[in-house]
């Protein structure tokens, strides 16, 4: 009898600690409040390039992020959905930017093979764009990590679980060391173009591996290129452009700036230059346009001209404008100054 009582007590203790362990999987109210406010930032409603995401063999549409209020019971699930959803949206932008860089590389090579004197300037422009995607990758990775930090089991701490875009964004940043060694001269232009082609090919392969998470809205890049070609020809006819690579460079720059604005600044991410980390503020939604334009500057492109606020390609869901009357100052983050050594 005494033994039976002891066994019963042990069983009850096991059940008690099991319940505690299960309840411990829930998140905290403070974190749930931060994530709830984060997902109520107006910028989330403006991300329209992802049709749905795949998470635990279930499909989630963007609207699923806003159906319920985030609580300590569903917080982890919403965090993971938000991470993958934003990662898929970044995937869309990276796909566009890489395809644009590849087209620019091909154009530079065509100029070189044609013995065109502008091949050098084209290659310098291409290398500049390669450097400009490095801080963008830093912001993207920082944003994804900033969301996951509130999860009970952040993806960056799980060695057996794939973290969307993490490896690719890390590799883009590590490309900086190789790109810095490149020198462009009359004898080295072809080698530089071939090196960049190899980098772009490798990153495109890595990017394609991430599509298992994402179902994007249809993007016809060939049609987009045709539109760009017609636009360029029209501008050249009116005497506004002399070189196609300048036109492509501006397109890539606008894609990068728009990505940072719409999917970093307007989502409420903040960059701490002293620690080079991205974080979320536990604040309610604000007037993003006023708050960002007045108080927040991202260190990204130095000596850039004002971005053309009228560019837009709605047909292909390519946002190429900054919908704000004010000019946003973009600077490089600490330790990521622009490079001129290769010229």
With a pLDDT cut of 70, the percent of the chain lying above it is 74
User: What is the pLDDT at residue 1?
Assistant: 53
Low-confidence residues of the chain: pLDDT under 70: 1-26, 282-343
pLDDT for 218 = 77
pLDDT of residue 311: 37
- What's the whole-model pTM score? 0.77
* pLDDT tens-place string over residues 194-225: 999 999 999 999 999 988 889 988 777 778 88
| Digit-coded pLDDT (tens) for 11-29 | 444 444 443 333 345 678 8
- How crowded is residue 125: how many other Cβ atoms within 10 Å of its Cβ? 20
**For the chain, what are the domain ranges?**
32-316
Q: What is the pLDDT of residue 275?
A: 87
Q: How far apart are CA 227 and CA 311, in angstroms?
A: 13
DSSP string, 112-155: HHTT-TTHHHHHHHHHHHHHHHHHHHHHHHHHHHHHHTTSSS-G
Average pLDDT, the chain: 78
Residues 6+ apart with CB under 8 A from 193: 105, 108, 109, 112, 123, 126
Read off the pLDDT of residues 47-71 as tens digits, 9 standing for 90 and up: 889 999 988 788 999 888 888 899 9
């Amino acid at each position: 009898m005494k033994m039976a009582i002891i066994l019963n007590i042990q069983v009850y203790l096991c059940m008690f600690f099991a319940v505690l362990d299960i309840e411990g999987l829930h998140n905290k109210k403070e974190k749930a409040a931060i994530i709830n406010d984060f997902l109520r930032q107006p910028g989330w409603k403006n991300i329209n390039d992802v049709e749905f995401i795949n998470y635990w063999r279930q499909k989630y549409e963007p609207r699923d992020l806003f159906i319920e209020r985030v609580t300590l019971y569903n917080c982890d699930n919403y965090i993971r959905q938000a991470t993958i959803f934003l990662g898929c949206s970044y995937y869309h932008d990276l796909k566009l930017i890489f395809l644009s860089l590849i087209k620019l590389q091909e154009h530079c090579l065509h100029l070189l093979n044609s013995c065109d004197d502008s091949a050098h300037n084209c290659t310098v422009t291409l290398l500049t764009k390669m450097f400009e995607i490095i801080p963008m990758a830093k912001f993207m990775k920082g944003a994804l990590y900033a969301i996951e930090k509130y999860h009970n089991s952040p993806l960056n701490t799980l060695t057996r679980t794939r973290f969307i875009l993490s490896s690719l964004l890390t590799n883009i940043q590590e490309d900086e060391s190789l790109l810095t060694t490149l020198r462009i001269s009359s004898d080295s232009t072809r080698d530089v173009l071939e090196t960049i082609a190899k980098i772009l090919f490798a990153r495109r392969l890595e990017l394609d591996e991430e599509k298992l998470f994402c179902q994007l809205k249809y993007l016809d890049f060939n049609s987009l290129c045709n539109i760009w070609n017609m636009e360029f020809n029209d501008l050249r006819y009116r005497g506004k452009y002399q070189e196609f690579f300048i036109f492509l460079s501006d397109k890539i720059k606008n894609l990068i700036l728009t990505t940072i604005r719409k999917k970093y600044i307007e989502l409420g991410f903040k960059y701490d230059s002293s620690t080079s980390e991205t974080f979320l503020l536990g604040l309610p939604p604000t007037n993003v346009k006023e708050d960002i334009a007045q108080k927040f500057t991202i260190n990204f492109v130095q000596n850039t001209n004002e971005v053309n606020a009228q560019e837009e390609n709605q047909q292909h869901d390519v946002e190429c404008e900054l919908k704000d009357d004010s000019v946003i100052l973009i600077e490089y983050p600490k330790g990521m100054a622009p490079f001129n050594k290769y010229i």
